[in-house]
């Protein structure tokens, strides 16, 4: 009974883990709900930036998609001529009389831009998670003003008795 370890050591480790969240946990939280990882990391000021980024990407994707639908309808109707079935809707007024090649080129360009924006949205979501993950790792680092370093240069003889120079850095902790 006297050989049992004291539970004080585990309490100290638990208090440190409560102070700094696990980086993988923060990353998964940020993947589930964008901004949750930033809140856990006590960086709530980043949450409006994250949602502003999502809103901007979403709005741009929506407008490009609307333009794509107009050009798709205009191109389809221009190919069919008079006997069109208006499969994609009527041709918008601003696109009536436009060359078929130009309609096709613009339609394809808008479709490619729209598809690229879905990739950008996934990358933004990943960037959100990576930001939360990296900052969770960095929270435990000491960045106070009293960090110091000392560099020394000294001559040294190596194992083969050839002269050399030794350069060493020592970081002093609190």
Q: How would DSSP label each residue in the chain?
A: -TTSPPTHHHHHHHHHHHHS--HHHHHHHHHHSTTHHHHHTT-GGGHHHHHHHHHHHHHHHHHHHHHHHHHHHHHHHHHHGGG---TT-PPPGGGTT--HHHHHHHHHHHHHHHHHHHHHHHHHHHHHHHHHHHHHHHTTS---TT-EEEEEEEEEE-TTS-EEEEEEEEEEP-
Q: What is the pLDDT of residue 149?
A: 67
Domain count, the chain: 1
Q: What is the pLDDT of residue 145?
A: 67
Q: What is the pLDDT of residues 121-133, one digit of tens each?
A: 999 999 999 999 9
The answer as to whether 147 is a domain residue is no
Of 38-42, 71-75, 157-161, the range with the lowest mean pLDDT is 157-161
The answer as to whether 79 is a domain residue is yes
Residue 79 clears pLDDT 90, i.e. is over it: no
Give residue for tokens 């980043």.
Answer: 46
The answer as to whether 170 is a domain residue is no
Q: What is the pLDDT of residue 45?
A: 94
Segments forming the whole domain that contains residue 26? 19-142
Residue 6 clears pLDDT 60, i.e. is over it: no
The answer as to whether 46 is a domain residue is yes
The answer as to whether 136 is a domain residue is yes
The answer as to whether 47 is a domain residue is yes
């Amino acid at each position: 009974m006297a050989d049992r370890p004291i539970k004080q050591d585990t309490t100290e480790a638990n208090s440190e883990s409560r102070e700094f969240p696990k980086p993988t946990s923060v990353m998964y939280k940020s993947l589930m709900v964008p901004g949750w990882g930033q809140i856990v990391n006590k960086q709530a000021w980043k949450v409006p930036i994250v949602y502003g980024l999502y809103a901007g990407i979403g709005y741009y994707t929506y407008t490009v998609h609307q333009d794509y639908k107009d050009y798709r309808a205009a191109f389809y109707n221009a190919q069919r001529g008079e006997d069109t079935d208006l499969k994609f809707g009527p041709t918008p007024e601003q696109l009536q009389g436009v060359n078929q090649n130009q309609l096709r080129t613009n339609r394809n360009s808008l479709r490619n831009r729209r598809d690229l924006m879905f990739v950008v949205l996934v990358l933004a979501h990943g960037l959100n998670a990576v930001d939360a993950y990296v900052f969770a790792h960095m929270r435990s680092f000491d960045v106070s003003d009293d960090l110091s370093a000392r560099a020394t240069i000294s001559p040294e003889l190596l194992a083969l008795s050839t002269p050399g120079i030794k350069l060493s850095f020592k970081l002093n902790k609190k």
